[in-house]
Amino acid sequence: MTYAIIDIETTGGSFKTGRITEIAVYLHSGSRLIDEYTTLVNPEVPIPPFVAKLTGITDKMVSVAPTFSEIANEVQNFTAGAVFVAHNANFDYNFIREEYRRLGMEFRRKRLCTVQMSRRAFPGLPSYSLDKITSELGIALDGHHRADVDALATMKLFEKILEVQSLKTLFENYVGLPDMTGIRSPLITQEILRSIPDECGVYRFFDADDKLIFVKRSDNMLTSICERLANPEIDTVRKMRADLYRIEYTETGSAMLAQLLEADLVLENMPHYNRGKFSLKTDYGIYLQTSNGKDAIVLAKRRGNDKALICFSSFFEGLDFLKFKAKEWDIHVSQISAGYTPIPGIVLGEYADPETYSNFSLLSGHFLIEDEGRNIDEKTIVLVKDGMPVGFGYYDFNHAPSGFDQSDLQYRFGLHPELEMVIRKFIEKKRFERIIPLD
């Protein structure tokens, strides 16, 4: 097996808006270095000053470098058939894959992440960032934040991971397919696991009664499943393995859609091994209450899966939302005391009419959110009405979805305020391709 150990430098942290400025690839057989490739890349956009200061790569340096389109075939051929290895692999992989998508090309490789592998190979370290773990293990890292230096250090780290005997099967089976002892289901075999794509999506575990017991989104579903089923000496893992009878998965392509689908499935089904949680913090909520004859909007810490009108990751995020709505809703901020603990809250103005608070969202109108699909010929579409996602579907990117309506949805979401928060977060961070307004 061949491994392509890769590092890139970019103009920013988002693969949707950032571009690659440098790429380095070290081909490794698992025992020795085979070949190497490195080049600066003209991103065709200005490099932000703080990025230039961090990496040392300037606009002048890349002005004579090839564009990604000019090296795309070379990188494709150089890494063909190799496992993609990087430190925080999803970052590098998503940037490279997005560059290919812009060219109308597909880039898919099996992946291994040296951050995840290091946690298993060297447990208990204070940090697994590349500069910290190389320092801990005595690996040189002179010139950090240049692709060739970081890729070489990652290769040295990879070689040290290979020396750990307990991880031997991880490389023999590509992503470390788990020991099947304790999994009694005829529907869970290593051959079936290998058929699951190591791509972005949501997977589900079911028990013998066909009850949903666990849901998880992942950028690498197969890797995540294998890691989830590893370490049977852990009590919860052993119990889950014993209960597991069947695995389903949905490849989404879009990370936004994966998070929406995960949240919806967890909130609709409350799977036993999720413990009523999914991977987005929704610690605070807004509620309508009546106290002493006054209608009040209360911003408070959530309890379990209570039915908040809108959710926030922190109190101050909720407070900012209410300040934005204060004039429209005629409200002012005050404190509501409960014993010795003051509870932050919002009290309505004396003559306010609670029926005016119809839209508990910063998003209004009806629109579609378009994002990447499961392949280069496809786009994901999420239908949103007044901040709430209604459902999703897919369309051929060669045909504009101007006539898209609810009959085109392949899946409909439940009415959960947590889903509004997922949509809001992705829009705030611009982690999608475009918004298409609807009449």
3-state secondary structure of 86: strand
Instruction: Give the separation between CA 199 and CA 108, rounded to whole angstroms.
Output: 9
Nearest to 257 by CA among 88, 366, 370: 370
Give yes or no for a contact between 156 and 112, defined as CB atoms under 8 angstroms apart.
Answer: no
Give yes or no for a contact between 434 and 370, defined as CB atoms under 8 angstroms apart.
Answer: yes
Instruction: Give the separation between CA 35 and CA 385, rounded to whole angstroms.
Output: 53
From the list 28, 87, 144, 145, the catalytic residue is: 145
Please name the amino acid found at residue 413. F
Instruction: Give the separation between CA 228 and CA 311, rounded to whole angstroms.
Output: 29
CB atoms within 10 A of CB 355: 7
How many angstroms separate the Cα of 9 from the Cα of each of 280, 356, 418?
28, 50, 35
Give yes or no for a contact between 37 and 74, defined as CB atoms under 8 angstroms apart.
Answer: yes
Give yes or no for a contact between 371 and 382, defined as CB atoms under 8 angstroms apart.
Answer: yes
Give yes or no for a contact between 430 and 14, defined as CB atoms under 8 angstroms apart.
Answer: yes
Which tokens go with 388? 């709430």
Give yes or no for a contact between 371 and 433, defined as CB atoms under 8 angstroms apart.
Answer: yes
CB atoms within 10 A of CB 438: 15
Number of H helices, E strands in the chain: 14, 18
Is 28 part of the annotated catalytic residue set? no
Measure the N-to-C terminal CA separation of the chain; round to a whole number of Å.
54
CB proximity list for 131: less than 8 A, separation 6 or greater: 141, 144
Which tokens go with 248? 């389903």
Strand 83-86 with 3-10, pairing: parallel
Q: Max Cα separation, the chain? A: 77
Residue carrying structure tokens 């291994």: 112
How many angstroms separate the Cα of 384 from the Cα of each of 146, 207, 262, 361, 396?
41, 33, 17, 12, 20
- Among all residues, which ones are annotated catalytic? 145
